[in-house]
Amino acid sequence: MPTATVRGATIRYETYGTRGPWVALSPGGRRGLEAVESLGKRMAAAGYRVLLHDRRNCGASDVLLDGKESEYEIWADDLYELLRQHNALPAIVGGSSSGCRTSLLFALRHPEAVRALLLWRVTGGRFAVERLSQNYYTQYIELAKKGGMKAVCESEHFAERIVARPSNRDKIMAIDPKQFIATMELWRSYFMRSIDLPVIGATEKDLGSIKVPTLVVPGNDRTHSLGIGRNAHRLIPKSELFELFTEDKDVDLVPLEEWDEREDILAKAFVDFLQRQLAPART
């Protein structure tokens, strides 16, 4: 797959389709672009040009563990630059879970660059904040304190990043453990600020400021509850609600296979929404 240099990071990406408005989709967690590849191909078949990418610290892109802003703000600005390089702005931007957070931050930081938002598995609430801050940050802080950067390299996530891009090992090992811990603590602090917000990374005022058509598809577990998604829809002025599931499961995280099984329904909902909302702007 091709790569691009984006704000100092080597970013792996893929594009599908040759016509229509640009769509950028991001997966949840720190998953690579393969997690939304099938969905992206469905969108391309429906007449859109689709860009997928591995965010920094994900997939086969560079590991760069620094920055003075939240991880999601960094990801949002990376996506903006990658789309700019492809002359793909303004774009339809969407994502699942952490990809949803990236998309929201993209819209808030670059409102002129967004045609529409596709938000699924929206994340918010105390349980989600506490669980995810542990998964994304605290566990690595503890590893670095006990075993330095060697222990970080040997963790499941970063070991996979090294397999995907072997040069990442040297990048990780070159980081001063104290600086790594400081960065993780900073990113965790941004995350924890969302504990009482309607969604992670955005206030009620932020959500109310979004002016583009938005489709909200709530999740169905403790981390991505129906209530959080429904409330996001209530707060985003031009949003529509599409419920792929109608009740939450009492689990931390529903297996993604349950969502994969309904991907055709999700893709159709996206396409129907965009055709209604953006038909005059199609190119």
Residues 107 and 175 in one domain: no
Does residue 67 surpass a pLDDT of 90? no
Q: Which residues contact 142 (CB under 8 A, 6 or more apart)?
A: none
Q: Looking at the domain assignment, is residue 196 inside a domain?
A: no
Predicted TM-score (pTM) of the model is 0.95
Q: What is the structure's pLDDT at 278?
A: 87
Q: Looking at the domain assignment, is residue 198 inside a domain?
A: no
Q: What is the structure's pLDDT at 280?
A: 55
Residues 112/138, Cβ–Cβ less than 8 Å: no
Task: Determine the average pLDDT of the residues in 1-29.
Answer: 96
Residues 144 and 120 in one domain: no
| Domain range for 176 | 130-190
Rg (CA), the chain: 18
Task: Determine the average pLDDT of the residues in 124-135.
Answer: 96
Q: Looking at the domain assignment, is residue 263 inside a domain?
A: yes
Q: How far apart are CA 271 and CA 283, in angstroms?
A: 15
User: For 234-274, how does the pLDDT look when each residue is reduced to its tens digit (9 = 90+)?
Assistant: 999 999 999 999 999 999 999 999 999 999 999 999 999 99
Domain count across the chain = 2
Instruction: Please state, as a whole number, how many other Cβ atoms lie within 10 Å of the Cβ of residue 131.
Output: 16
What letter would DSSP give residue 35? G
